[in-house]
Chains A and B, each alone.
Chain A
């Protein structure tokens, strides 16, 4: 395409050069023709026409170029302004000098033509003509007189001998030709010096008419190419008064020398006169020719300006278009190299640049495809993992997350990609512990860590086993972190249940079984030897056996309680109204425990939980009992029971708190408060709070205990509610407070 354009441009240039040369040659011919040259004189009009048409063609071409430029301007095409500026510059550069030359040429031309003419020469020529005429006048009069004499002589001659007489008269008179004419112009007789002249030279009609009227005629007469003759025509008297009137014409040749001189004077005068007459047309013609030359030069210059500007700007325009194409992402743009100059170098550089960019783009595309392939592969692998995987960037923003992670955490984290930890916490508050732990390890710079983290979220309590690994970074800067976590809630529960079950089984087998024989043996000893013993022995025996039996009972109770704890009964979940259950259990304590003041502040929304009512009742018993025992003996023993509904983003839960004003938990025991056999009481199985925790975990809840200032302790339990958005209306007596005295 580029080659085609170059070829077309070349043809256009050749055509224009041909037109220019044609017009130039034509103008040259025309200029020649203006000099009245025989060669081109006949072609003058055609030449003028050809030039006019050529100029019209040039004007049309320039018009087309101008239209193109204006349309380019309007569409704000690349390079239009530069083309315009170049055209204006070229035109101004061409027009000014040509116009100056034209003006001065015209001046010189007019002055030059005017200088040809001089009044003195004109007068001299006129005078020479007058002189010639005067010189001829004398001769003419002589010749007329001679002719009249000849006429007199011939009038006496009879017509029959007229030709003979004419010959004699011609020879004697020195005339070139003598002709005797009849009244009607008929030639009667003629005699010529040139025997080849068969037909005599007849006088004009008006001359004969004049002679017939009796007025002789004499005059200079140019005859053919023979030069000047003196023609005299005189009437010849008739032989008789009634005879036919006749005329005698005599032609006298002007001597050669005189003839030449006369011819010279005549032609010089005529030439000068003609030139003088043609002075104005000549000026017009030269001005016209010069104007045509000017127009041709100007129009050619303007066209050349357009051509040069377009040719000069073409690579720049193409470069601009190419740059625009590259800016729009078309890196396959290649520009034609039309010249070997700096612009050509620029175009080649541009082509090389676009080729490199295209290669780089292709390479980047391939790399991106590879990366995407790897990413898809990784996502597939991650997606197929049962463990949750999250990766955090260096600034702890969520970068990737797999499906299992969302599934384990119960929230779709794919929408939160790119969010920082603060944002994640804001949207998912229940992930606080998880995210805090990750942030803690990240800030600590741990390369690898693992931790068990408990969450309370939409699915209740969850225990996650989380492993974190720092990602390789750039240089010394860490490259973020990948977190892999599993939901081990069920596993831990199962392990714990299995362990406690085993302990319970062994206790039952190893401890409970021997207790009955021990008790029976003790009762048998007592029965057999108490009656036969002395009072003193009997007292000892009685106390000893009583102690054994009592302790065995206590051990049995203890084992039973432990068995009860370790037992994993099937939970029967049903919707339970928590407030009602709390009030039911509280009733047992309110009236039967003296000195205990019980306050209840229950949420008016009547939270309902999906739970086993029996197990919950046991939980409440254990808590109240614990509180009661903690405040036993205090004068202002007070237990506060409260429920509160909390709505979070994804779920709702009820928070149950039981608070007493007892001495609180010993600080050293707070961490292991919910472990079995941890107690501060003299008579306690150490299983009360362990059972509470077990029940809470069975129901997917969380429990925490803390001491209050200045005194007291509070245990807080969170359980998921059902139908958080369809809670029962707040009852009139929602808040309940009572005391047992």
Chain B
């Protein structure tokens, strides 16, 4: 499951990069000077509880005006929180030991004027009156079990890393080309890395 997810994630990244390159060559889209969103990982660390590494993290989500406009026009936004445990090696590239995705779908419910956040992994839906509350509900990760300690080989150095991004591929098809070439849609954090410890 972990390895498969890792491959799938790499696959998606490669596809996104290639596609962005291709589209950037083919289209030239003017960029509007509006509110630029940003995703930022405030903190992340793991706690070893009962031989299982649990993740605690705080992520700030600020949507760009383009994303907000899409959201308020009924377009669901999918946010992908990508978690990995990586073994650093001196002479080779890092080995991904665990690779997990936590995906949320944020949607605006016009009738009730509420923001619905659905955890795509669990199917749990929560509704929020304010957008900020909905974003905060996605940004708090508490005691999320990441990896069994027994899966790690003693003596090696492992790090945990975290990245949150808006999944452009989950947008409606007509929007994807536009989103790939518009910086306002490129909402992603850098990899946030921390040493794995109990």
Contact = CB atoms under 8 A, between A and B. Distances in A.
B126 interface: yes
Given A129-B111, A262-B111, A273-B110, A52 B177 contact: no
A464 to B, nearest CB: 100
Contact of A41 (B113, B126, B173): B173
Nearest to B116: A222
Interface stretch (A102-110, A277-285, A340-348): A277-285
B56 to A, nearest CB: 17
Contacts, number: 112
A74 B31 CA distance: 47
B137 interface: yes
Interface stretch (A263-271, A604-612, A635-643, A686-694): A263-271
B173 A33 contact: yes
A221 B174 contact: no
B70 interface: yes
A284 B124 CA distance: 35
Contacts of B113: 133
A228 interface: yes
A219 B130 contact: no
Given A36-B174, A273-B74, A281-B175, A204 B111 contact: no
B19 A45 contact: yes
B110 A129 contact: yes
A35 B174 CA distance: 8
Contacts of A46: 15
Contacts of B180: 45
B95 interface: no
B110 A269 contact: yes
Nearest to A285: B174
Given A52-B26, A265-B111, A205 B173 contact: no
A285 B23 CA distance: 12
B169 A266 contact: no
Interface in B169-188: 169, 172-178, 180
A277 B114 CA distance: 19
Interface string B57-98: 000000000000110011100000000000000000000000
A45 B176 contact: yes
Contact of B73 (A224, A265, A273, A285): A273
Q: How large is the interface on A (under 10, 10 to 19, 20 to 34, 35 or more residues)?
A: 35 or more
B129 interface: yes
A353 B173 CA distance: 65
Given A266-B109, A284-B177, A204 B22 contact: no
A73 B81 CA distance: 60
B176 A44 contact: yes
Nearest to B70: A277
A338 interface: no
Given A49-B18, A269-B110, A34 B174 contact: yes
Contacts of B46: none
A278 to B, nearest CB: 5
B133 interface: yes
A331 B69 CA distance: 80
Interface in A486-508: none
Contacts of B26: 52, 288
Contacts of A282: 174
A154 B137 CA distance: 31
Interface string A114-143: 000000000000000100110010000000
A206 interface: yes
A246 to B, nearest CB: 22
A136 B15 CA distance: 46
A294 interface: no
Given A52-B22, A132-B111, A221-B112, A206 B127 contact: no
Nearest to A210: B129
Contacts of B110: 129, 266, 269-270, 273
A281 B181 CA distance: 12
Nearest to A51: B22
Contact of B19 (A37, A48, A129): A48
A42 interface: yes
Interface string A191-219: 00000000000001111000000000001
A281 B174 contact: yes
Contact of A221 (B23, B73, B124, B127): B127
Interface string A276-299: 111001101100100000000000
A284 B123 CA distance: 34
B107 to A, nearest CB: 9
Contacts of A206: 128-130, 133
B183 to A, nearest CB: 16
B3 interface: no
A219 B115 CA distance: 12
A101 interface: no
A220 interface: yes
A278 B125 contact: no
Contact of A207 (B19, B123, B129): B129
A286 to B, nearest CB: 8
A6 interface: no
A222 B113 CA distance: 11
Contact of B22 (A48, A133, A274, A284): A48
A331 to B, nearest CB: 56
A274 B111 contact: no
A92 interface: no
B69 A277 contact: yes
B172 A274 contact: yes
B139 to A, nearest CB: 13
Contacts of B126: 204
Nearest to A220: B112
Contacts of A364: none
A284 B176 CA distance: 11
B75 A274 contact: yes
B175 A278 contact: yes
Contact of B111 (A220, A277, A278): A220
A671 B74 CA distance: 144
B115 to A, nearest CB: 10
B17 to A, nearest CB: 11
Contacts of A205: 133
Contacts of A281: 172, 174-175, 177-178
Nearest to A125: B110
A223 interface: yes
Interface string B17-53: 0110011001100000000000000000000000000
A288 B123 CA distance: 36
A228 B111 CA distance: 10
5 contacts: A45-B19, A46-B15, A278-B75, A278-B175, A285-B174
Given A46-B15, A219-B112, A281-B175, 9 more contacts: A44-B176, A52-B26, A224-B124, A269-B74, A274-B74, A277-B69, A281-B172, A282-B174, A288-B27
The 9 A-B residue pairs with the shortest CB-CB distance, nearest first, are A277-B73, A274-B74, A220-B112, A270-B74, A285-B174, A281-B174, A266-B111, A273-B74, A282-B174
